[in-house]
Structure 1
């Protein structure tokens, strides 16, 4: 395999993890309901960004939420 083919394959195999997700994905990821998610956003417990019409939730803030509430 040529070097440029190897680099191309390596780039295709690279997994890029999202830093934000939309509301439906955040609900699926956490298992909490839509209303509860919006309550947590309003209380500042979950970080969000509004870009155009998209409401994006940071994956990091979802992970922190779960860690804070672990037992």
Structure 2
């Protein structure tokens, strides 16, 4: 995923999208999210998980210019 793509993401994204940006596999990403060990803030809404995009960008060292 390019820096421009990361900067264009909405406020929250799926665990799948965040995993792809970090180079993690889908299964591993969901395991970490379920255990509360995902490296970014994860919000659980019902049965779905959403990753806070600003935390993902910070983790990857990508800040808007």
Tell whether the structures are fold-level matches, with TM greater than 0.5.
Answer: yes
Which 4+ stretches in 1 moved above 6 angstroms? none
Residue deviations 1:10-40 (CA, integer Å, cap 9, x gap): xxxxxx841111111111222223426717x
Q: Distance in 1 between matches of 2:60 and 2:52?
A: 13
Number of matched residues?
Answer: 51
Greater Rg over alpha carbons, structure? 1
Q: What are the ranges of 5 or more consecutive residues in structure 2 without an aligned counterpart?
A: 1-7
Gaps of 5+ in 1: 1-15
RMSD after superposition:
2.6
What is the TM-score of this pair, normalised by structure 1? 0.53
- Structure with the greater relative contact order (CA < 8 A, sep ≥ 6): 1 or 2? 2
Contact 2:40–2:56 (Cα < 8 Å) also in 1: yes
Q: Which residue of 2 aligns with 1:52?
A: 46
Structure number with the higher helix fraction is 1
Out of 12, 15, 30, the residue aligned to residue 20 of structure 1 is: 12
